[in-house]
Structure 1
Amino acid sequence: MRLRNRRMGQMPEINIIPMIDIMFFLLVFFMMSTLYMVQVKTVDVDMPQAASAETQLAVSYVVTMKKDGSLYLEDQPITEEALLARAAAEQQRTAKFSVVVRADQGLDYGMVIGLLDKFKARGITHIGLAAADGGH
């Protein structure tokens, strides 16, 4: 009969199941926190519905026009001249500069076209109009 040496006992084992649980928890945590980082800070506005609206995440400026004609850059109120000056300066710095205009659906169409025309006069050509997703 062969006797085992006490030093040659069982090798310690690493139990990886708790480690896998922690890694899964961290993965879910970072996925959920990333979803909240993607949302753009904007002002609530009643946008028109569009069935074929697309989501664009590579937007430099999100401009909101409320029903009374007031302008907001993201969630901060701004005057039209200040907005146009900042956008023109950003256009000079960034080659892929773009603007998305979120206009209230009760707003006069001429006011939206007037703002788009002023952007174009300042050399800003990548302009989009936002619509609520009225998809199926």
Structure 2
Amino acid sequence: MKLRDPRQFEKPEIIIIPMIDIMFFLLVFFMISTMSMVDLKTVDVNMPKAKNVETNLSVTYLVTLKKDGSLWLEDKPITQDDLLRRAQVEQSKNSRFAVAIRADETVDYGTLMQLMDALKGAGISRFALAADKK
């Protein structure tokens, strides 16, 4: 029985093309999955439109003021007193606490100012007013 000469064995090769394909597939998968994780839990509201809107997701509370005057904290209804109490507790825990207010474009300016004044009276000093991009 004749054995092959060890010098005739081919050296192992790493085929890189399938590895690149797998890496691109994983990259796309993780990009798509993280985009779905960023979805904000909010109530549908017709916000005013502006050209120079900044996206900032570092706010702690996202408060929605609907045209009927109801308040929502993220996707749950809340009373103004409960919102103020919870915001005070959160402000005492986190010095960078911020509230973003999403108001319907038909909401009376006085109603919005009353909410902001109540939050300011509760010791909340960082606000943001949300708008949709044109």
TM-score (norm. length: structure 1): 0.90
Shift of 1:36: 1.8
Letter of the 1:132 counterpart: D
Query: Match for residue 61 of structure 1?
Result: 61
Letter of the 1:60 counterpart: T
Would you say 1:7 and 2:1 are equivalent positions? no
**Number of residue equivalences:** 131
State the 4+ residue runs in structure 1 displaced beyond 3 angstroms.
none
Shift of 1:131: 1.0
Partners of 2:61 and 2:84 lie apart in 1 by 11
> RMSD over aligned Cα, in angstroms?
1.4
- The gaps in structure 1 that reach 5 residues or longer are none
Partners of 1:7 and 1:73 lie apart in 2 by 73
Would you say 1:88 and 2:88 are equivalent positions? yes
Letter of the 1:6 counterpart: D
Query: Match for residue 76 of structure 1?
Result: 76
For 1:26-48, what per-residue CA distance to the aligned partner results, in whole angstroms no more than 9, with x for missing partners? 11111111122223111110111
Partners of 1:48 and 1:12 lie apart in 2 by 63
1:1-136 counterparts in 2 under 5 A?
6-8=5-7, 9-134=9-134
Task: Provide the secondary structure at the position in 2 that maps to 1:97.
Answer: coil
Letter of the 1:76 counterpart: K
Task: Provide the secondary structure at the position in 1 that maps to 2:56.
Answer: coil
- The gaps in structure 2 that reach 5 residues or longer are none
